[in-house]
Structure formats: structure tokens, C-alpha cells
């Protein structure tokens, strides 16, 4: 385990940036966002970025490949050039967990090689939260914000940052970074970091982050009861179908594929899509979910019921609270979960 004074963070960032591309959260008008580190840029103290770190692995828009007609032959050109190792520093526990959820989707067969390539080139440095925002509920989703996942995890105690490797990749990184940055020093064991972790966990417990509801109702056994609940009509009534919740969500993975004629060929793109849109999954036979109620229900059923039913109980939500903060009509997963938990009696298997 290593440690560094907060006053020496620029020295640390400079050393890391000399080894590989470095991204940190930076304050901007309207909130923090991920940016490449450069001289003069300061690590944001914001609890979370406006948009999640999902963009690093599953970008909002990406050119998959190009098609060119050469006589009677179609040539396919793979235009990928992601070959640069990079570090994402300052990822919070909720966003780190979102990577695991995305892995379940994109790294299962058939593997998405675009996503896999970016994941293999990345190194995640997470930072423990010291206090929750009023919109946080990661603990309800089984996430410990005082001890986040990642290749390297950091804890802040006073004016000192402690860094501990959690993977082999993280160990190699800290060894190399320690050689490049004399400001990093041996912490002399884990006692100080363990103390900081305990203090952080105590503070998080005392502040009582927002809890959506008891999640027992959202089980495979209750699928029909939740699906046919009359509450969906009332809950979805004010929804604008704008898709804001899906675009700020770190775990949403819906996308569309579009081809664009350049005049000399075709460029194929993948772009984020939203289950809240009326043309999502629309086919020649029609729209399988023609009403806003059905589309609204689909989003929350997927997060709370379908995904955990197919992934060993792992919820498709990490409790980051972005949908709470950004929804223009103040509708969010917490309100939905509370209403359904109160209105649908939990059933046990065999009932």
C-alpha cells in the first residue's frame, strides 16, 4: 500500500500521464465531467460526474466499420484504433460496479470485441466516498461506498490519500507509478487505510443514504404480481418519454445500428438508444410496446426483476442517483420501487 499527500497530487498525475493516458473528473459549468489530465486541471471533489464513466467502454456514438464497393466486391474496413492503455482515476463505487454489470452483457457470448478491447486497455483507480449525496442509494444495491472495487482503490484521510492494489494489473501499475513518482511512499501496512475505511463507513452509516425500498418484492417469484400491478398506470402518467434517465444511467446498454451513405461507401455506427422511446424495438410488424406505460414498465422491470433473475440476483441499478437528479418531472427508480414495494405483497416461492 502506498500513500501521497494531497498537495502532491499534480506530481502524481504528471507521473501517471507520462506512463499512459490519464482521465480525471474535472469541474465544469453544470457539474463534473471526465477529461484527459493536463497541466492546470484539478481533480474535482464532486461526489460523481454528470455522465458516468460508461462512455469509456460503451461510447454514445462509435463508428463500427466502413463498407466500400470495389467493382462487384464489397470491402469491409475495420477502423478501430484503440491500442492505447489508459487510466481512469477517481471512479466512485457505484460507477465501478456498473462496469461489472456491463461486463455481464458485453463480455458474454457472443463477446462484443469493441467493448472488450477498451476494457483490456483500461485501468480503474477508484476512490471511496466520504459522504453520500441526498440522491445516493448504492448501499441498497449491495455496494460498499467505503471500499469500492477497481484495480486500485484509494481512501482519503485528512490530507493523505492511500492507494491499495486489488488486482494484478493494479499491483503492476502502483509499482511503475511508485518508480515514476517519488512523492508516492510506502504506507507501512494497511493500518491507516483500514482506519480511514472504518471512519468513512461510520460516516456513511450515520448519514443514512437514501433507500428506495425493501427489495424483496422484486423477485422472480413476484414477476407477475409486479408486472400486472395497477400502479404502473399512475406511475407512468407523467413520464415524458424523454430518455434522460437512460442516457445518464451507468448501466443502460440499449443501442441502435445505423448505416450512412457517404457517396463512396457506407459507414456503420452504433449509437445509444432508449427503451423509453416510441420507436425502440419497432419492427415491420409493429411496436411490441406501443404505449408509454409499457415502455415505462419495461425500464424498471429490467433493472429490478429481469436482470437479477438472469444474473444471480445482481440488480441492473447501482444506486448512483443520477436519474433522481436529472429527471425533468422528478420521476425515478426510487419512487417506483417504493410504490411497488408498498402496493405489491411479497410472495415466497411455493405460495
* CA dist list (Å): 49 to 26, 33, 35, 95, 300: 8, 5, 11, 10, 23
- Yes or no: say if 296 and 232 are a contact pair by the CB < 8 Å rule: yes
The model's pLDDT over 24-82, given as tens digits with 9 standing for 90+, comes to: 999 998 899 999 999 999 999 898 999 999 999 999 999 999 998 887 788 898 888 77
- Count of CB atoms within 10 A of residue 250's CB? 25
Which helix (H) or strand (E) covers residue 179, if one does?
helix 168-180
- Count of CB atoms within 10 A of residue 255's CB? 16
Which whole number is the average pLDDT over 131-158? 90
Nearest to 126 by CA among 204, 35, 48, 39: 48
Band of residue 118 on the pLDDT scale cut at 50, 70, 90: very high
Band of residue 351 on the pLDDT scale cut at 50, 70, 90: very low
For residue 106, the Cα-to-chain-centroid distance in whole angstroms is 14
Residue 285 confidence (pLDDT):
77
For the chain, the residue count is 351
The model's pLDDT over 21-30, given as tens digits with 9 standing for 90+, comes to: 999 999 998 8
- Count of CB atoms within 10 A of residue 125's CB? 26
Amino acid at each position: 500500500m502506498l500513500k501521497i499527500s494531497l498537495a502532491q497530487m499534480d506530481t502524481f498525475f504528471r507521473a501517471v500521464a507520462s506512463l499512459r493516458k490519464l482521465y480525471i473528473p474535472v469541474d465544469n459549468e453544470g457539474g463534473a465531467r471526465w477529461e484527459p489530465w493536463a497541466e492546470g486541471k484539478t481533480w474535482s471533489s464532486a461526489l460523481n460526474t454528470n455522465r458516468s464513466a460508461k462512455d469509456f467502454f460503451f461510447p454514445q456514438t462509435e463508428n463500427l466499420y466502413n463498407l466500400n464497393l470495389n467493382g462487384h466486391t464489397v470491402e469491409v474496413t475495420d477502423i478501430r484504433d484503440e491500442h492505447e492503455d489508459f487510466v481512469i482515476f477517481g471512479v466512485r463505487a457505484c460507477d465501478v460496479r456498473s462496469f461489472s454489470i456491463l461486463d455481464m452483457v458485453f463480455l458474454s457470448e457472443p463477446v462484443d470485441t469493441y467493448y472488450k478491447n477498451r476494457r483490456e486497455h483500461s485501468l480503474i483507480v477508484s476512490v471511496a466516498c466520504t459522504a453520500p449525496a441526498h440522491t445516493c442509494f448504492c448501499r441498497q444495491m449491495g455496494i460498499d461506498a467505503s471500499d469500492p472495487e477497481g484495480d486500485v482503490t484509494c481512501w482519503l484521510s485528512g490530507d493523505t490519500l492511500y492507494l491499495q492494489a486489488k488486482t494484478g494489473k493494479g499491483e503492476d501499475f502502483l509499482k511503475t507509478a511508485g518508480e515514476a513518482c517519488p512523492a508516492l511512499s510506502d504506507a507501512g501496512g494497511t493500518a491507516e487505510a483500514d482506519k480511514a475505511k472504518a471512519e468513512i463507513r461510520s460516516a456513511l452509516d450515520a448519514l443514512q443514504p437514501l433507500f428506495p425500498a425493501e427489495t424483496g418484492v422484486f423477485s422472480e417469484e413476484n414477476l407477475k404480481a409486479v408486472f400486472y400491478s395497477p400502479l404502473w398506470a399512475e406511475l407512468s402518467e407523467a413520464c415524458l418519454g424523454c430518455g434522460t434517465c437512460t442516457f445518464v444511467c451507468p448501466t443502460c446498454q440499449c443501442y441502435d445500428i445505423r448505416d450512412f451513405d457517404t457517396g463512396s461507401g457506407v459507414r456503420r455506427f452504433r449509437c445509444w438508444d432508449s427503451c423509453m422511446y416510441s420507436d425502440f424495438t419497432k419492427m415491420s410488424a409493429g411496436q411490441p410496446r406501443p404505449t408509454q406505460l409499457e415502455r415505462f414498465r419495461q425500464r424498471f422491470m429490467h433493472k429490478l426483476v429481469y436482470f437479477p433473475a438472469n444474473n444471480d440476483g445482481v440488480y441492473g441499478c447501482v444506486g448512483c442517483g443520477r436519474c433522481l437528479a436529472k429527471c425533468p418531472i422528478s420521476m425515478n427508480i426510487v419512487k417506483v420501487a417504493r410504490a411497488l414495494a408498498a402496493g405489491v405483497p411479497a410472495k415466497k416461492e411455493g405460495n
